[in-house]
Amino acid sequence: MNHLEKINYPDPNFIRKETQVINDGWQFSFDRKAWQSINVPYCPESKLSGIGHTDFIGQCFYKKTFYADIGKGRRVMLHFGAVDYRCEVYVNGRHIGSHVGGFTPFAFDVTDVLIGTENELYVCVYDDELRDCPSGKQSYKRQSFGCFYTRTTGIWQSVWLEFVPGVRIKQIQFYPSVERSSVLTEIHTNGCEQCSIFVYYQDRKVGEYCGRVTYRAKFEILLSESHLWELGQGQLYDVIITFGDDTVYSYFGLREIGYRGYDFVLNGRSVFQKLVLDQGYYPDGIYTAPSVQAMQRDIDLALDLGFNGARLHQKVFDPRFLYLCDKSGYMVWGEFASWGVDYSDLHFLGRFLQEWQEVLARDFNHPSIVTWCPLNEVWGRWEDAAERRDVRFVELVYDFTKAYDPTRPCVDASGGHHGRRTDCFDVHTYADAEELRKYLKELDSSDILDIPLLYCAGEVLPYSKGLPVNVSEFGGICFTQKDDASEVGTVNEGAVESEVAWGYGKGEQSADAFLARYERLADILMDCRKLSGFCYTQLYDVEQEENGLYYYDRHDKLSEEQKARMRAIHSRR
């Protein structure tokens, strides 16, 4: 299956050819009385949905007629890529299931409720729980402000039908080994059948397995050719798995990652992570890209400035975006939309882990994901400094992540309050060049890292000698040629209060002045011997936050000559 075929499926890493996308012909209502057309999978807040209602939506309703041709012995699975936040699903008037969580896929077997070929699908959505559930950067005020943006409600990824045999594959996980030139394959099924797995590289068969699988099995497939997944070279192996009458198409990358001392290593080679923050927002689609080409463009924009990856920030990205990262040899941090959770109360831990586990399961096989980042800036509550996070929350999330996936590094909490266990000590700082130089000089000379917390003073666990360090937020320079460029006096004021253009610190309206400032910061970071990488805030503006390297519509802020200068800066390490 070629690239163009894969990208047409909702999840290119788990494809069945008998798939029918049903994004057309939906009706939408706020009250189940007045109905209007909506373009799925765009949320009703977006312009591309055809509605553009940006006020709070506590509940909403969808309906459509769909056609399902049921073949002999086949089951019909109804899939949703993501629905924010809680939903109840009905087919032909019968309740078939529910799902809680705004970022992960779910599916129901609807075979037994279908009546002929024409069927009525009805979805009730409830999104009135923004304050105590993972919601990422969705604004909890009526308007956008600071680093909080337009909300996303309801269906925002594709809806599709799959026609499957009764006994079938449920999940596949790949564990590649560079040293052995092999891939350990784990398959989960709902029964017992003969299984065949064929691995291809550019249409050449390079490995295979045949045997009987009962519910779950793990086996190693030796590869006759080794082609490493490298930066800028997303060399992927295609996989065809048959299990009885079921066939699934997938892929993996042959690569190994981890830390060696202070260094991040890819396939045994030290790589300095030069990442850029990508929030996954689009002016007309909010959470949903207007096209596959728009997703690819964001990757290309970052590569064109000399970055080798991105921190995918406070959102679970579309699987097709991750596939494009895989194909591009573009490193990313897989982050959860953890803001909105009350970290001070373990009562909310179960809800958090339920959805985070669904993220890990969906995205496990993407070679581009080089770090898991379940939590970001775990402070407690901004509006109540006395309500602090429970350190057990952070540590249990880290332990859970490592138990599920021991193959990748995990940052327990990006920035903010760390727990007592992490694979990388990750910090955020929007300090100026002189302050930053002082902090990193102490790290290099004395293994001391004492960067002040951004928003909240108080308890923080100290840096442990020998632990890898990453500065996963820095810069954030308000850079715009508009007349309303902000001169924010403090980090806190802009990030949690401003409703107009802002950035972290005094803005720049001259591209040359911005580049000079960026160069000073980047050089200091790349000169630090004990630093494993950095992430610049951010790739493009998002609504009122104007610290992007591109405008929100992805138009250039820098000339071609200035882009070349930025690439030259990044080439120094």
Tell me, what's the pLDDT at 500? 78
* Secondary structure E strands in 417-530: 425-428, 469-475
pLDDT, average across residues 89-111? 97
- Output the pTM of the full model: 0.96
Round to whole Å and give the CA distance between 42 and 94. Answer: 26
At 438, is the pLDDT very low, low, confident or very high (cuts 50, 70, 90)?
very high
- The token pair that represents 272 in the structure block: 């300095």
Q: What's the whole-number mean pLDDT along residues 193-207?
A: 97
Residues 6 or more apart whose CB falls under 8 angstroms from that of 13 comprise 250, 251, 319, 322, 323, 365, 366
Cα dihedral 361, 40, 328, 570 sign? negative
- Please say whether the beta carbons of 298 and 265 come within 8 A: no
Q: What is the mean pLDDT of the chain?
A: 92
According to the CATH classification, is domain 24-157 in 2.60.120.260?
yes
pLDDT for position 460: 60
* pLDDT at residue number 209: 96
Of all residues in the chain, the percent with pLDDT exceeding 90 is 82
Q: What phi and psi, each to the nearest 5 degrees, are found at residue 153?
A: -125, 140
Residue 489: per-residue pLDDT: 41
**Strands of 36-38's sheet in order across:** 36-38, 26-29, 59-67, 118-126, 86-91, 94-100
The residue-averaged pLDDT of 421-430 equals 94
What digits encode the pLDDT tens for the residues 310-357?
999 999 999 999 999 999 999 999 999 999 888 888 888 998 999 999
- Residue 473 sits at φ, ψ, to 5 deg, of -150, 125
Domain boundaries, the chain: 24-157, 271-570
- pLDDT tens digits, residue range 367-407? 999 999 999 988 666 556 667 778 899 999 999 999 999 99
- At 451 the pLDDT is 83
CATH number assigned to the domain covering 271-570:
3.20.20.80
How far is residue 137's CA from residue 160's CA, in Å, rounded to a whole number? Answer: 27
* DSSP per residue, 396-429: HHHHHHHHH-TTS-B-SSEEE---S--SSEEEE-
Nearest 5 degrees, angle CA 181-CA 218-CA 18?
95
What is the C-alpha to C-alpha distance for residues 154 and 39, in angstroms, rounded to an integer? Answer: 12
Contact (Cβ atoms closer than 8 angstroms) between residue 426 and residue 414? yes
Question: Is the Cα dihedral 27, 30, 32, 33 positive or negative?
Answer: negative
The mean-pLDDT minimum among 161-170, 288-297, 335-344 falls in 335-344
CB 351 within 8 A of CB 133: yes
What integer is the mean pLDDT of 209-219?
95
Average pLDDT over residues 37-65: 97
At residue 417, the pLDDT reads 78
CA-CA-CA-CA dihedral for 29, 31, 34, 35, to nearest 10: 20
Which of 223-227, 350-354, 391-395, 492-496 has the highest average model confidence (pLDDT)?
223-227
Of the pLDDT bands very low, low, confident and very high (cuts 50, 70, 90), residue 87 is: very high
Residue 43 pLDDT greater than 60, yes or no: yes
